[in-house]
Amino acid sequence: MAAQLTLQAPLALPPQEVGDYLQRLWSTELEGSKGASTFTLLIYEASWLQQQMVRTGLVDGPITGLLDRPLIERAKAAVSECGLPLSTAVMDQRLSWALGQRQGSHHSDDLRGQFIDSAISAHMPRRLITLAPTLDGGRPLETLVSAFCPLIEEGAAAAQACGDAVVLRGGLGALQGNLGLIDALVESGLPCWVWWNSSLDEAPELLEALARAGRRLVVDSSLGVPRRCIDLLVQRIQTGQAVNDLNWMRLRTWRESLAMLFDPPSRRNALEHVVQLDIDVEGDHPLKGLLLAAWIADRLGWHLVSSFPVDGDGAGTGVGAEFERTDGATVQFRLMPVPVGVPRTHPGAMVGLRLVCAPEGRPPLCVILCSESGGCMRLEAGGMASMELLEDVVPVPEESEEMELARLLGGGHDTTNPLMVAAVQLAARLLPA
């Protein structure tokens, strides 16, 4: 987990001295070391859940900002202890809010920004800047500086470039009051990634200030109010900024599994005759399912006629929509929230997908994709006896956010993936107002 080799212990410095110190660090103290000519990674690392769990004594510290398995398991137990629905994902901000209502004053070391995942350090960031807001909103700003080198693995080339890590820790007010310092720390001339590793509902001014034009933004649209998340994505994409959404990236296996079923040319014709698309998601966060539906609709050239809320049969509110195919026929779409006993880590995870195609002169084709972690009883229920049935199980890779982020850092683009652009724009229209 902590694949970091610090060349020095993190050094606490007055904020105004950080810039000069870093300059000295590379020019004198680390003379001969190679500073990576790579990129700056600016992380907003709120870790409210971990902070609350440490404060309430549910887990021991230190606070690292990393979601490890013991933390997730303990958080799952806390869901029911807090009286939340069992389908509540541990990253759902209602959990950290509920924990925030509990008594507790446990303290632990706050090491956010000092534990660097090996997947990220392998890309040799030139500078890691971590903004670590504290539960105490009035806490003044502390700045910590250290240099690090990636761990050299056996058999790997020895010449690794080093970087430095800066942590700015304090209340939100203190962070917002030092935006000038943050901007000065971003290496000019190198690409800058901004990873908003928290809910998109919080600190909109800070997000706006950090995610300036030209910086590559990484967000997670599963964290926050769905309408706010999707609107933010649309707005950011419209500015021309490179936007990456971890929620969209987690759809990769679903998109691949669905595409795979239609790789044989003999089945492709069926894609022109889709009449019904149903998607089930965990809990009441529909964005991931909507992004998948929007991707399918965009790829198949469907035109959105209308969208509307539908009754989720006691499990919340779903989304219904009507599309028009390129040949004028209608496609019915339903996204339904379903209760699950063991939810995934992030809100709104995919449970299943059903695509019904009715090619002329051939029996209807029903495609059902089901998450390997759950059941698809609702989608498999009835009406398919006369159809050709294709069923597949979609693997759910257990990858951390850091792994997903590393995938982006490994070969970044300065534009947004066009497939995501189209899906986001359509998903924003699909989500009922």
Residues near other proteins (CB under 8 A) are 36-39, 123, 156-160, 189-191, 252, 255-256, 258-259, 262-266, 268-269, 271-272, 296, 299-301, 327, 407, 410-415, 417-419
Peptide bond just before 191 cis, omega within 30 deg: no
Instruction: Choose between 31 and 263: whose C-beta lies nearer to other proteins.
Output: 263
Give min distance, CB of 148 to other proteins, in A: 17
Residue from 352, 329, 221, 193 nearest 274 by CA: 329
Instruction: Choose between 102 and 299: whose C-beta lies nearer to other proteins.
Output: 299
Instruction: Choose between 184 and 259: whose C-beta lies nearer to other proteins.
Output: 259
Give min distance, CB of 374 to other proteins, in A: 23
Residue from 270, 252, 251 nearest 261 by CA: 270
Give min distance, CB of 161 to other proteins, in A: 8
396 neighbors 372 (Cβ within 8 angstroms): yes
Place of tokens 């539960």: 135
Give min distance, CB of 5 to other proteins, in A: 16
Instruction: Choose between 257 and 332: whose C-beta lies nearer to other proteins.
Output: 257
Single-letter amino acid code for the residue at 170: G
Give min distance, CB of 19 to other proteins, in A: 22
Instruction: Choose between 207 and 365: whose C-beta lies nearer to other proteins.
Output: 365
Instruction: Choose between 259 and 342: whose C-beta lies nearer to other proteins.
Output: 259
Instruction: Choose between 83 and 411: whose C-beta lies nearer to other proteins.
Output: 411
Burial class (CB in 10 A: 0-12, 13-18, 19+), 410: exposed
Give min distance, CB of 288 to other proteins, in A: 17
Distance from chain centroid for Cα 344 = 13
Sequence-distant (≥ 6) Cβ neighbours of residue 221 within 8 angstroms:
200, 229, 230, 232, 233, 245, 246, 247, 248, 287, 288, 291
Give min distance, CB of 188 to other proteins, in A: 12
Residue from 302, 303, 281, 299 nearest 290 by CA: 281
The Cα 405–Cα 379 span in angstroms is: 33
